[in-house]
Amino acid sequence: MSKFKILVKVTGSIAAYKVAYLVSRLVQNNCEVKVAATQSALKFVGAATFEGLTGNPVFTDTFEPGKMMSHINLVKWADLTIVVPADANTINKFTAGIADNLITSLFLAHDWKKPYLIAPAMNVAMLKHPATRRSLKILEEWGIKILPTGSGHLACGDEGEGKLLEPEIIFGYIFNELRKKEVKNKRVLITGGATKEQIDKVRFVSNLSTGRTSAELADALYLQGFNVTLLKAQGAVNPKFDVRIFEFHDFKNLRNKLKDLISSENFNAVIHLAAVSDFSPDFIELEETKLNLPLKNKLDSNVKQFKITFGKNEKIVNRLKEWSKERKVQIVSFKFLDKTNSERKEEEIKKLLAMSEAVVFNSIEGRENGIQKLFEFYRANGEARKNLKLNDLIKEISKLLMEVK
């Protein structure tokens, strides 16, 4: 049995060809999909394509024999409706209450308790036209989810906004909307990537973290319906989906932004994955001169020798519950181990579990040997999972988040 029923409404845009991939992606993820299309849309992509992908006939005519009540029955059937691509003509008809084809008639019969998404695609001038801008604003006020458009080279040769989002991104929006109720709109903050401690205008001290794990975790939780915020290092890997993003650069910047976020907003959970510098440079000694760091200018490359003194940074994870506006916040902390400190693992687990509900360990050995990174997951209730691949780790974290009241 299909988990979700999706009604895909296709209008007359050259971007309609992208919908075939989107429909295929939905079907592969156990969704039952039905397609309703305007006659204009079928000039770009034939009905046979959609019928072949969905296993269902394509709905096009309000007055087709045997389907006279399609505009009512399809609305009742669908868990979610998306118009993709949505052309300017259809968007403006929606707000005018016009019902001159199956797509517009379906809109007038929409069940407002169900999610409705619109993915616009059109020429930049049409998108910026006052009528279209007004219509999009009105639709948003009515509770319709308006997806953004991409920017770049358009089919007509113009440059600018109006490109249809890539199908994979639209897929993310759909699943996030469908699963919001399942996770009860829980809000999760993830930190990721490496801090960069500045020496001068062009030099810094950092580590090897790319932020890839935090980006993949953010994407996975977003697809499960969580409201995800990612506080990531500048230059770290970006998530694919519509995750709210803030950036940090050094330890102090990360500390301050993290404190501001969790003290001003209610997050149900904080997943502290950032690779935080244990030490920050305090000052530099050049011959007889001692200067505070970071330097305001570039360090002279002709200098033959210098000494940098580092100061110890506080452990941010120890302060998260203290800073949090949500008193019942769940903390998942990450700890990176190498061969020299793996013997202290039990001690580290005990220490971190005093400050968090779960601890994740990963090792440098996998990176050195070029094998897939494996994780160990420990919970305050005594549960432990070892040799987890990233997908398995995400399942464990999701399980923990679903238990949050």
Task: Report the C-alpha gap between 28 and 9 in whole angstroms.
Answer: 19
3-class secondary structure, 193: coil
- For 139, the token pair is 């639709």
Is residue 40 within 8 Å of 16, Cβ to Cβ?
A: no
Distance of alpha carbon 31 from alpha carbon 52, whole angstroms: 15
3-state secondary structure 251-302: HHHHHHHHHHHHHHCCCCEEEECCECCCEEEEEEEECCEEEECCCCCCCCCC
CA distance 78 to 4: 8
156 assigned to active site? yes
Confirm if 274 and 251 have CB atoms less than 8 A apart. Answer: no
Residue tagged active-site, from 96, 156, 202, 303? 156
Strands of the sheet with 307-312, listed across from one edge: 289-292, 279-286, 307-312
Give buried/exposed letters for 317-350 (b at 16+ CB in 10 A, else e).
Answer: beebbebbebeebbbbbbbbbeeeeeeebeebbe
Answer whether 100's CB lies under 8 Å from 26's CB: no
Which residues are known to be catalytic?
156
